[in-house]
Amino acid sequence: MIMSRTLLVVFGMLFCTAAQAEVDKHARNLAASCSACHGTDGNSEGGMPVLAGLDKALFVNQMKDFKSGARPATVMHQHAKGYTDEEYELLADFFSAQKRH
Amino acid sequence: MSFSRRDFLKASAAGIVIGAFPGLAFASSELIKKKGQRVVVVGGGFGGATAAKYIRKWSNNKIEVVLIERNPMFISCPMSNTVLGGGRTIDDLTMSYDELKKKYGIKLVKGEVTAIDPEKQTVMLANGHLKYDRLIVSPGVDFMYDKVEGLNESVANISITHAWKAGAQTVLLRKQLEAMPDGGVFAISIPKGPYRCPPGPYERACQVAHYFKQNKPKSKVLILDANPDIVSKKGLFMAAWNELYPGMVEYRPNALVSKVDVASKTAKTEFDDVKADVLNVLPPMKAGAVADMAGLANVDGRWCGVDFLTYESKVHKGIHVIGDAVSAALPKSGHMATSQAKVCAAAVIELMQGKQPDQNPTIANTCYSMVSGNEAVHVANVYRFNVEKQAMVAAEGGGVSAKRSELEGAFAGYWLKNILNDVLL
């Protein structure tokens, strides 16, 4: 019993790692479309805000404020409406993990 | 099997069997010996250069990438209308491919593809061939000159330009505007959609008007649109024409130009003949010629049908098509080409590693148009994969600028800087 429980935990960990990697790739792919304005991996070369290394909660809140109109914008209110709350989280995970240049 | 390899070589040397293998000359040399897994990318525009870079980046340089491009330098088509307005020079829009080689180890082959053999997974060039595991074709657009009587490539290069690929024709068109007398007419003819860069022709009208306003205020801009209405950002362009260039810009819908007279610079529509001092005709467009080499243009004989999870061609497995050449309800823009390129790059890596590609591709497009020297307008949308339709569909919330502004004009410049860095650096 103890043995199988240990195995379960090990399998569980393996599964989580694999699932996590998949989630990261989808987040990476989602974020890739942002780089036209915000630079590769969120490292903007000027003008648009740098997203690389941005605090997760701040990123998510900004997106929500763009969507609601609480933060006025020229473009971002439109993009924010195109993504779901879950996608905000994925994007926040990805960008917060990127190194600022 | 009595025909041995030695016999074959003899016969081949005697020139007997060459004709039996069109497109695959045995005499041709392998330009770069294929060792490991390799992707060949044809076309180094926004789509192709991005796909090349991101396959290297996302595969941790495990997959070899060979990028075939015929031009020595990258010239951005986005923002090239500002060369006509005077805000930029063509040099401002010109970038080198060197960093793709140095930083990402992409092997750059300068040349033109002459044939593609999907069975043997081989691309032919004039001086040799390249083998691939997967091929990405990013051919942009080519022009259907035969749809406009009197027009051809040589005429476009020296007289009635399209200037719809940034470069020599863009510079020529600017010179033609400079040489034009005040009080003259600039006429632009827009083909029926789909064509590259939907708002581009209307932006061009703004940029030419901007130049006239400063230098030749008695001149006119005449827009002959084959479409029944302004295709993109209608209200914003009309406001710009009426408020910034009153009395200068005339828009004519349903004006399909089917014939030109080169000597008199006259465009013929169904209704009348329009004589201009500077005539700019955008011929109807289709996928770039490379697509035809493997019969990839399966939609109306013009555009390439693809699977939107991988951008793999509907015609040939192992060949992917991205950018303007793709048949889709997506705008043919630079940003869209890079977004498609990244979905394709990610999928190609997964497929080559025996894994399943991302099943929920979601991409964005932001497209700025400069309506004066410093003001811009935009259209922005998110697009997501729709399983039932097997297509990319616009998500909620997309739209255009509330009004033109200098702030967006500045953002347009930053957009250009960031996207060029993302593609080439």
- With an 8 Å Cβ cutoff, is A24 touching chain B? no
Confidence category of residue B26, pLDDT binned at 50, 70, 90: low
The pLDDT value recorded for residue B266 is 98
Q: What is the pLDDT of residues B328-383, one digit of tens each?
A: 999 999 999 999 999 999 999 999 999 999 999 999 999 999 999 999 999 999 99
Can you list the positions of beta strands (E) in B45-121?
Answer: 64-69, 74-75, 94-95, 107-110, 113-117
The whole-number pLDDT of residue A6 equals: 46
Chain A hits for B366, CB-CB cut-off 8 Å, are 36-37, 75, 79
CB contact under 8 Å between B366 and A45, yes or no, is: no
The answer to whether the CB of B285 falls within 8 A of the CB of B226 is: no
Q: Say which DSSP state B135 is in.
A: E
Whole-number pLDDT of residue A91: 97
What pLDDT digit, counting tens, does each position of B264-279 carry? 999 999 889 999 999 9
* pLDDT greater than 60 at residue B18: no
Residue B34 has pLDDT above 90, yes or no: yes
Mean of the pLDDT values across residues B132-138?
98
Q: Does residue B15 surpass a pLDDT of 90?
A: no
Pairwise CB contact (< 8 Å): A82 & B364: yes
Phi/psi class of residue B382: alpha, beta or left (left: φ > 0; alpha: ψ in -120 to 50)?
A: beta
Whether residue B122 is predicted with pLDDT greater than 50 in this model: the reply is yes
Q: What is the pLDDT averaged over residues B126-143?
A: 98
Chain A, chain B: beta-carbon pairs less than 8 Å apart: 109
**Could you tell me the pLDDT band of residue B4, with boundaries at 50, 70 and 90?**
very low
How close A19 gets to chain B, by Cα (Å)?
Answer: 13
Task: Let me know how long chain B is.
Answer: 425
pLDDT-derived band at B28, boundaries 50, 70, 90: confident
| Lowest pLDDT segment from B24-28, B74-78, B109-113, B301-305 | B24-28
Contact B364/A28, CB-based, under 8 Å? no
* Residue B91 DSSP code: G
Per DSSP, the residues of B304-361 read B-EETTTTEESS-TTEEE-GGGB-SSS---HHHHHHHHHHHHHHHHHHHTT-PPPSS-
Per-residue model confidence (pLDDT) at position A21? 47
Check: pTM over 0.80? Answer yes or no.
yes
Closest residue to B415, CB basis, from A37, A40, A79: A37
Burial class of residue A7, CB neighbours in 10 A (0-12, 13-18, 19+): exposed
Q: What is the pLDDT of residue B27?
A: 62
pLDDT digits (tens, 9 = 90+) for A5-57: 444 444 444 444 444 444 489 999 999 999 999 999 999 998 999 999 999 99
